[in-house]
């Protein structure tokens, strides 16, 4: 069995058309291995020699490994009598223009072209020979990705055409199949998704989304190539909002529509404006509505108000602007604060006590009256009292007419209140008098009483000094010297008029003459305290009637 098997191995090359060793003068120089990407091409250099090279040009053939040189169709040949394989027709070509050139051109390579090929020459019998040298062709997947081209920049709402193509187009468009995929295509006609050209009308929400083009090479293994791009869609500012932050508090509130923002007086405030746009919008702040070419109070997205007061009340507007358009959003800032009280002021009219009281606050305060511990509620009218109240903007006003319930030492209070605080002031009736003192606290009444007592003491000292001076003048009637303490002139020829006397009233001769006998004494002194005011917080005025005191001196 051993010698027989060896003999068969020796005869096999002869049966195939070749020989175990290359015969003399038969030579083939060809690249042993060639690699080409699918859908691309390659040229294989080849040259050969054979004994009949000086005769007319022979027929040359390239066959696929395993084909019969007599019955199988070659993949390429210059023999017009031998048809080539259908799957390589038009793609495999002989390049040789010399008798010894067997170079092979491969175009539009397919995955099915991978394999081994051999060469045969036929110059007529007996000069026919099949060469042992082989060509190993390896077709790999195409690594080139499709190109996606935009004919113009993407802008929201404007239709734009996109094209998808391969860098190298394979022969025969029937081998290419296109498809598109992406979130921006949900409104596109499905028939348009299998064309190399796509018409897209982008939207703002499509910005930053992915768009994919796939190209499938039909035939062979059906290789699929794809490229994905991120859409860059330009659109005008939208979804404008304002975030409000107080000191040490972030994201307190977000405003998307024009609204009123209430803030406590003195609070530090930060306003942050945010807009959605591409390209990013220029953000700026204005007082009120921005006019043409108006100067902003801030050219950044943030507006800082370190201490909010009534001067900051009003409208603030954020403007977002990019090359496509602009958008505005405004908020109205309203400062809230506790009541500030003006009054009460009271007077006697028509046999009753008439009082009025006003207050300013934000939100507007409510006013009410207290008689002692009793509340005089609402706008009421009965036999004993009548209350009228009104309001306008931050101001509230109330008036009271009281005809009964007045007694010595009674107290009447005006109270203003809102959600941020309470303020009140009290009217007091002194015992046995018809004089009213107002104050915010009892300390104010004490201060007024102390001031009145001090004034009374000063008047008594003045009375005693005047009396002593007049007694001395009675003992020395001829001395016209000035009093060393008070600077007044004694009874004599240089008598002065009384300071409170009108300027056009001259003293009588009797008044200028010195008294005879015992010096007359002043029995009564009338002391007046005009426009007595109590000291109150916040410099609010408090009115008072004139208080009279009578002092009688007995000898």
Is residue 267 a contact partner of residue 247, using CB atoms and an 8 Å limit? Answer: yes
Residue 477 has a CB neighbour count (10 Å cut-off) of: 13
Q: Which of 266-275, 441-450, 458-467, 531-540 has the highest mean pLDDT?
A: 266-275
pLDDT in tens, 100-121: 889 999 988 888 899 999 999 9
Residue appearing with tokens 């070659």: 74
Q: How far apart are CA 554 and CA 464, in angstroms?
A: 13
**In a 10 Å sphere around its CB, with 0-12 CB exposed, 13-18 middle and 19+ buried, how is residue 439 labelled?**
buried
First-last CA distance in the chain:
178
Point out the least confidently predicted range of 114-123, 186-195, 196-205: 186-195
Q: Give pLDDT tens digits for 284-304.
A: 999 988 877 788 999 999 999
Other CB atoms within a 10 A radius of the CB of residue 338 amount to 19
Q: Are 61 and 73 in contact (CB under 8 A)?
A: no
Helix (H) or strand (E) holding 13: helix 2-16
CA-closest candidate to residue 319, choices 299, 305, 338? 299
The secondary structure of the chain in percent helix, strand, coil, rounded to multiples of 5, reads: 15, 45, 40
- Helix, strand, or coil (residue 285): strand
pLDDT bracket for residue 207 (50, 70, 90): very high
Range of weakest confidence among 238-247, 281-290, 452-461: 452-461
Nearest 5°: CA angle at 240, between 237 and 246? 145
């Amino acid at each position: 069995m051993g010698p027989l098997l060896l003999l068969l191995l020796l005869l096999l090359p002869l049966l195939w058309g070749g020989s175990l060793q290359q015969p003399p003068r038969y030579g083939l120089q060809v690249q042993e291995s060639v690699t080409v990407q699918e859908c691309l091409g390659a040229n294989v250099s080849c040259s050969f020699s054979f004994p009949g090279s000086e005769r007319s040009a022979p027929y040359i053939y390239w066959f696929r490994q395993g084909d019969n040189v007599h019955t199988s169709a070659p993949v390429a040949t210059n023999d017009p009598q031998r048809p080539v394989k259908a799957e390589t027709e038009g793609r495999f070509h002989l390049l040789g223009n010399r008798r010894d050139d067997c170079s092979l051109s491969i175009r539009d390579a397919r995955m099915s072209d991978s394999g081994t090929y051999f060469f045969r020459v036929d110059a007529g019998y007996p000069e026919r020979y099949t060469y042992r040298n082989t060509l190993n062709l390896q077709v790999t997947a195409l690594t080139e990705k499709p190109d996606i081209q935009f004919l113009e920049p993407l802008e929201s709402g404007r239709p734009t055409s996109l094209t998808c193509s391969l860098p190298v187009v394979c022969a025969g468009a029937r081998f290419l199949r296109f498809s598109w995929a992406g979130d921006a295509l949900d409104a596109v006609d499905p028939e348009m998704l299998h064309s190399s050209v796509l018409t897209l009308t982008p939207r703002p929400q499509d910005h930053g989304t992915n768009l994919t083009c796939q190209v499938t090479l039909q035939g062979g293994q059906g290789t699929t190539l794809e490229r994905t791009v991120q859409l860059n869609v330009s659109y005008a500012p939208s979804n404008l909002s304002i975030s409000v932050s107080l000191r040490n508090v972030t994201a307190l509130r977000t405003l998307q529509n024009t609204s009123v923002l209430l803030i406590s007086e003195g609070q530090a405030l930060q306003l942050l404006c945010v807009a959605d746009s591409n390209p990013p919008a220029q953000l700026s702040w204005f007082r009120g509505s921005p006019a043409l070419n108006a100067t902003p109070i801030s050219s950044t997205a943030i507006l800082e108000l370190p201490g909010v007061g009534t001067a900051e009340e009003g409208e603030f507007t954020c403007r977002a602007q990019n090359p496509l358009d602009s958008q505005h959003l405004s908020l109205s800032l309203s400062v809230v604060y506790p009541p500030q009280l003006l009054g009460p002021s009271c007077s006697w009219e028509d046999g009753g006590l008439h009082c009025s009281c006003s207050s300013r606050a934000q939100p507007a305060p409510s006013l009410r009256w207290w008689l002692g511990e009793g509340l005089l509620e609402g706008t009421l009218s009965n036999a004993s009292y009548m209350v009228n109240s009104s309001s306008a903007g931050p101001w509230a006003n109330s008036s009271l007419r009281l005809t009964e319930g007045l007694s010595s030492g009674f107290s009447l209070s005006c109270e203003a209140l809102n959600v941020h605080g309470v303020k009140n002031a009290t009217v007091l009736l002194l015992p046995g008098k018809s004089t009213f003192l107002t104050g915010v606290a009892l300390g104010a009444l004490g201060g007024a009483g102390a001031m009145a007592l001090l004034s009374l003491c000063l008047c008594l000292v003045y009375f005693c000094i005047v009396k002593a001076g007049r007694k001395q003048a009675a003992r020395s009637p001829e001395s016209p010297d000035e009093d060393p303490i008070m600077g007044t002139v004694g009874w004599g020829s240089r008598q002065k008029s009384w300071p409170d006397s009108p300027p056009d009233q001259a003293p009588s001769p009797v008044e200028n003459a010195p008294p005879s006998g015992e010096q007359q004494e002043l029995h009564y002194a009338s002391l007046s305290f005009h426009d007595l005011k109590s000291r109150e917080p916040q410099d609010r005025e408090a009115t008072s009637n004139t208080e009279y005191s009578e002092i009688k001196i007995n000898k």
